[in-house]
């Protein structure tokens, strides 16, 4: 027999990259945690403000955790949606769920509902409304895209594009008729920002996001095969429609929770899957957890930059991700087109 | 062959599939395919060849009738149990992401793995065997998208064989292959029939290929099985000419002893018996 050695995923090949990424995440988080309040104070000879435990544990820690959960969820959802829609240009906001969430969030903020208190917790009304509209949008997108009991990738993309356009128009309409005292805050939320963190909200959003992401893990192997086409997948024993519906509902819930929490942070869910496909290959059993950890590292880092780069002004982290993400994505496309897009 | 039919593995009883009023329908097909039989499905475009194959694979559930494998109705078999006995090779696979050849072939082990499982050494062994017998071993590190159509077709076949099926269903397995690889694929399938009692059902356009390599053929026309039998009974002048609405020349190949067929472009030509044949359309024009 010829000396063929097949490279396949072994527990070791799986664990090593994930451990490296986990260590990287811890490292970036520690830097973000211990960064001086005014990082440039030393450079300009100003006296740095003293760090207090309050700032560290009540402001920074939730923010770092939030960035990790949000970045990770967006990275994982990007992987799932690219495989589900069989389209390398798919990203978490493509299905219109984010647009739906944004409409709810913007409306609640414009009409001035502030906080609802339930069960001893306070949830900002904007976030609750955003999640509510995200759920409603999920339901409508599903009903619209379903055709004879099947969810076709192309139909899903088209329906998503239409829902996003409709949501965009609705938001512009709300802006046009509303009193704009809060415009800046609303705009920052829409671009994607971690400035509006509330620990109760974080608990809710993070639980939904993490449960959702964990439910993706058993789908990873089926997704590998689903990218070869419905027929090939079905003949290998994949329950194509079941996997598709689970992936659609799962990503919609996670994206809805994340967007309600911190707005439409862009680019993480598009570039992280491509970056890791380039680094570690296409096998979703590894790509999915790696994109989760990688997305977390990326967003914790981007949030750190957004906090310090224009100190004392804080930029919405969505601006940083798009600034870094756009050019980086172009670079990936130009230099590694074959590895990333399969030369088609 | 006859012995094969006495020991059927794939049984279709009154299988009918409707695609809505006025649309195409598959009409009450009865077929019994024996273990180790190499069975070809031929017929004009749109005659229902691929639909029939997909019904055999359990990818389409019939509106009436049953498909059963080893006496078990397919619609009562779980998808992964089905995938362990039937492999289906589509004409082409989608290539969205840059999987390597070895990754694709290892996907053939999907129905044997647990929910989170990594491939075991035995799975790798099977994938290695599939790569070797399909002569795709040297491609294992390459990315699917970089391969030629013919190489890709062989890799998809390797994936199907890695499923270790009892029945392999192929949709035009040699459409992108050069003659060397066409012959090699058919020789391989015949060899696997000898060694492993593999049952092969294949949709084919090349009638001479069908006649040369297959035990029995099913000629489809308008969703019906118009004729089922050994190549000598199906590749018949009148039958082929009518079904395909094409003038053909048919003779017996002295080397293989099987009929071969040449489609004719001319208005008038010689038939197998040497008699003059009038081209039906030509007649109308003149």
Residues of A in contact with B99 (CB under 8 A): 224, 227, 282-283, 342
- DSSP-derived secondary structure letter, A50: P
The domains of chain B are located at 2-223, 236-286
For B151, the token pair is 């190489």
Residues of B in contact with A227 (CB under 8 A): 94, 96-97, 99
- Which 296-335 residues of chain A touch chain B by CB within 8 A? none
Residues of A in contact with B133 (CB under 8 A): none
CB B168 within 8 A of CB B160: yes
For B188, the token pair is 């391989």
Q: Which of B90, B88, B96, B49 is nearest to B69 (CA)?
A: B88
Q: Would you list the DSSP string of A96-127?
A: SHHHHHHHHHHHHHHTT--EEEETTEEEEHHH
CB contact under 8 A, B128 and A229: no
Q: Which residue of B has its CA nearest to A216?
A: B116
How far CA A246 is from CA of A65, A174, B174, in Å, comes to 26, 33, 36
Measure CB to CB from residue A235 to each of B59, B113, B137 and give the nearest one: B59
How far CA B270 is from CA of A222, B145, B207, in Å, comes to 56, 46, 20
* The pLDDT value given to residue B94: 81
Compute the nearest-CA separation of B160 from chain A (Å): 8
* The pLDDT value given to residue A285: 92
Q: Which residue of B has its CA nearest to A342?
A: B98
Cα dihedral A93, A98, A103, A106 in deg (nearest 10): -100
Does A11 contact chain B (CB < 8 Å)?
yes
Measure CB to CB from residue A235 to each of B88, B92, B145 and give the nearest one: B88
* The pLDDT value given to residue A235: 92
Q: What is the pLDDT of residues B36-54, one digit of tens each?
A: 999 999 999 989 999 999 9
Residue A316 domain flag: yes
Check residues B64 and B268 and name the one with the higher pLDDT. B64
Q: What is the pLDDT of residues B107-142, one digit of tens each?
A: 999 999 876 678 888 899 999 999 999 999 999 999
Residues of A in contact with B131 (CB under 8 A): 4, 6
Neighbours of A177 (CB within 10 A): 8
Q: What is the pLDDT of residues A110-153, one digit of tens each?
A: 876 666 555 555 667 778 888 889 999 999 998 898 887 788 88
Measure CB to CB from residue A232 to each of B86, B90, B103 and give the nearest one: B90
Residue A35 domain flag: no
* The pLDDT value given to residue A108: 83
CB B228 within 8 A of CB B216: yes
3-class secondary structure, A200: helix
Does A232 contact chain B (CB < 8 Å)?
yes
CB contact under 8 A, A2 and B132: yes
**Cα B55–Cα B61–Cα B62 angle in degrees, nearest 5:** 80
Round the CA-based radius of gyration of chain B to a whole number and report it. 20
Residue with tokens 């058919």: B186
Residue A25 domain flag: no
Compute the nearest-CA separation of B94 from chain A (Å): 5
Domain count, chain A: 1
Q: Which residues of B236-251 are buried (b: 16+ CB within 10 A; e: fewer)?
A: bbebbbebbebbbbbe
Q: Which residue of B has its CA nearest to A88?
A: B96
CB B5 within 8 A of CB B32: yes
Does A336 contact chain B (CB < 8 Å)?
no
Residues of B in contact with A234 (CB under 8 A): 59, 79
Does A282 contact chain B (CB < 8 Å)?
yes
What is the residue range of A59's domain? 49-341
CB contact under 8 A, A234 and B79: yes
* The pLDDT value given to residue B1: 42
* The pLDDT value given to residue B115: 61
For B262, the token pair is 């040449």
* The pLDDT value given to residue B112: 92
- Partnered with residue B16 across adjacent β-strands are B64
Q: Which residue of B has its CA nearest to A229?
A: B94
Cis peptide before A312 (omega within 30 of 0): yes
Q: What is the pLDDT of residues B227-264, one digit of tens each?
A: 999 999 999 999 999 999 988 999 999 999 999 999 98
Measure CB to CB from residue B98 to each of A2, A8, A339 and give the nearest one: A339
* The pLDDT value given to residue A191: 82
Q: Which residue of A has its CA nearest to B93?
A: A228
How far CA B272 is from CA of B35, B259, B268, in Å, comes to 35, 11, 13
Q: Is the pTM of this model over 0.95?
A: no
Compute the nearest-CA separation of B76 from chain A (Å): 14
* The pLDDT value given to residue A124: 75
CB contact under 8 A, A224 and B107: yes
pLDDT interval class at B278 (50, 70, 90):
low
Measure CB to CB from residue A342 to each of B88, B92, B143 and give the nearest one: B143
User: Which residue ranges of chain A lie beneath pLDDT 50?
Assistant: 1-3, 45-47, 343-344
CB B217 within 8 A of CB B211: yes
Residues of A in contact with B54 (CB under 8 A): 231
**Is 50 exceeded by the pLDDT of residue B281?**
no
* Cα B5 to Cα B230: distance, rounded to the nearest angstrom: 12
Q: What is the 3-state secondary structure (H, E, C) of chain B?
A: CHHHHHCEEEEEEEEEEECCCCCCEEEEEEEEEECCCEEEEECCCCCCHHHHHHHHHCCCCCCEEEEEECCEEHHHCCHHHHHHHEEEECCCCCCCCCCEHHHHHHHCCHHHCCCCCCCCHHHHHHHHHHHHHCCCHHHCCCEHHHCCHHHHHHHHHHHHHHCCCCEEEEECCCCCCCHHHHHHHHHHHHHHHHHHCCEEEEECCCHHHHHHHCCEEEEEECCEEEEEECHHHHCCHHHHHHHHCCCEEEEECCCCCCEEEEECCCCEEECCCCCEEECHHHHHHC
Measure CB to CB from residue A4 to each of B83, B115, B137 and give the nearest one: B137
Q: Which long-range contacts (CB under 8 A, 24 or more apart) does B149-152 make?
A: B149/B92, B149/B176, B150/B176, B150/B177, B150/B178, B150/B181, B152/B92, B152/B93, B152/B95, B152/B176
CB contact under 8 A, A235 and B100: no
Q: Which of A248, A260, A223 is nearest to A98 (CA)?
A: A260
Residue A17 domain flag: no
CATH number of the domain enclosing A166: 1.10.3470.10
- DSSP-derived secondary structure letter, A59: I
Measure CB to CB from residue B94 to each of A8, A86, A234 and give the nearest one: A86
Measure CB to CB from residue B97 to each of A9, A218, A342 and give the nearest one: A342
Compute the nearest-CA separation of A282 from chain B (Å): 6
Residue A37 domain flag: no
Q: Would you list the DSSP string of A210-274?
A: HHHHHHHGGGHHHHHHHTT-HHHHHHTT--HHHHHHHHHHHHHHHHHHHHHHH----SHHHHHHH
Candidates 3.40.228.10, 3.30.1490.110, 3.40.50.300, 3.30.470.10; CATH matching B2-223: 3.40.50.300
């Amino acid at each position: 027999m010829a000396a063929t050695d097949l490279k396949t995923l072994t527990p070791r090949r799986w664990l090593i990259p994930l451990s490296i990424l986990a260590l990287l995440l811890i490292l970036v988080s520690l830097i973000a945690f211990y960064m001086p309040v005014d990082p440039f104070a030393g450079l300009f000879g100003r006296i740095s403000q003293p760090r207090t435990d309050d700032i560290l544990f009540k402001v920074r820690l939730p923010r770092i955790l939030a960035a990790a959960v949000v970045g990770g969820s967006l990275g994982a959802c990007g992987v799932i949606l690219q495989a589900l829609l069989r389209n390398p240009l798919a990203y978490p906001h493509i299905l219109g769920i984010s647009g739906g969430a944004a409409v709810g969030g913007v409306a609640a903020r414009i009409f001035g509902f502030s906080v609802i208190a339930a069960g001893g917790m306070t949830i900002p009304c904007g976030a609750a409304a955003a999640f509510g509209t995200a759920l409603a949008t999920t339901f409508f997108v599903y009903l619209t895209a379903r055709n004879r009991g099947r969810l076709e990738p192309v139909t899903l993309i088209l329906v998503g594009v239409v829902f996003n356009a409709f949501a965009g128009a609705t938001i512009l309409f709300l802006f046009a008729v509303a009193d704009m005292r809060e415009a800046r805050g609303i705009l920052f939320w829409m671009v994607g920002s971690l400035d509006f963190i509330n620990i109760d909200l974080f608990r809710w959003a993070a639980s939904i996001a993490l449960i959702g992401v964990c439910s993706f893990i058993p789908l990873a192997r089926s997704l590998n095969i689903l990218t070869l086409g419905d027929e090939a997948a079905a003949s290998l024993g994949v329950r194509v429609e079941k996997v598709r519906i689970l992936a659609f509902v799962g990503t919609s819930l996670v994206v809805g929770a994340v967007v309600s929490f911190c707005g439409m942070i862009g680019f993480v869910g598009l570039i992280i899957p491509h970056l890791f496909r380039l680094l570690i290959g296409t096998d979703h059993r590894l790509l999915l957890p790696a994109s989760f950890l990688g997305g977390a590292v990326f967003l914790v880092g981007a949030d750190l930059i957004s906090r310090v780069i224009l100190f004392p002004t804080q930029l919405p982290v969505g601006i940083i991700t798009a600034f870094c993400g756009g050019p980086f994505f172009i670079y990936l496309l130009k230099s590694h087109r074959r590895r990333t897009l399969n030369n088609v | 062959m006859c012995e094969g039919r006495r020991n059927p593995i794939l049984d279709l009883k009154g299988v009918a599939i409707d695609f809505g009023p006025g649309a195409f329908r598959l009409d009450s097909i009865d077929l019994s395919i024996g273990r180790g039989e190499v069975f070809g499905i031929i017929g004009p475009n749109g005659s229902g060849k691929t639909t029939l194959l997909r019904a055999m694979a359990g990818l389409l559930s019939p509106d009436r009738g049953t498909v059963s494998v080893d006496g078990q109705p397919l619609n009562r078999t779980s998808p992964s149990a089905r995938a362990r006995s039937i492999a289906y090779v589509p004409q082409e696979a989608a290539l969205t992401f840059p999987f390597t050849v070895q990754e694709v072939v290892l996907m053939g082990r999907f129905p044997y793995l647990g929910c989170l499982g990594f491939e075991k050494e035995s799975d790798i062994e099977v994938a290695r065997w599939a790569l070797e017998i399909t002569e795709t071993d040297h491609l294992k590190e390459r990315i699917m998208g970089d391969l030629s159509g013919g190489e890709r077709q062989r890799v998809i076949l390797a994936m199907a064989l890695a499923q270790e099926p009892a029945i392999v269903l192929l949709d035009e397995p040699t459409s992108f292959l050069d003659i060397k690889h066409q012959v090699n694929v058919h020789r391989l399938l015949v060899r696997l029939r000898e060694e492993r009692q593999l049952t092969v059902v294949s949709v084919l356009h090349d009638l001479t290929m069908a006649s040369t390599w297959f035990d029995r053929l099913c000629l489809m026309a308008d969703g019906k099985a118009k004729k089922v039998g050994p190549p000598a009974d199906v590749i018949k002048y009148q039958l082929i000419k009518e079904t395909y609405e094409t003038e053909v020349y048919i003779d017996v190949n002295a080397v293989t002893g099987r009929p071969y067929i040449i489609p004719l472009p001319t208005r008038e030509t010689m038939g197998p018996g040497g008699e003059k044949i009038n081209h039906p359309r030509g007649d109308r024009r003149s």
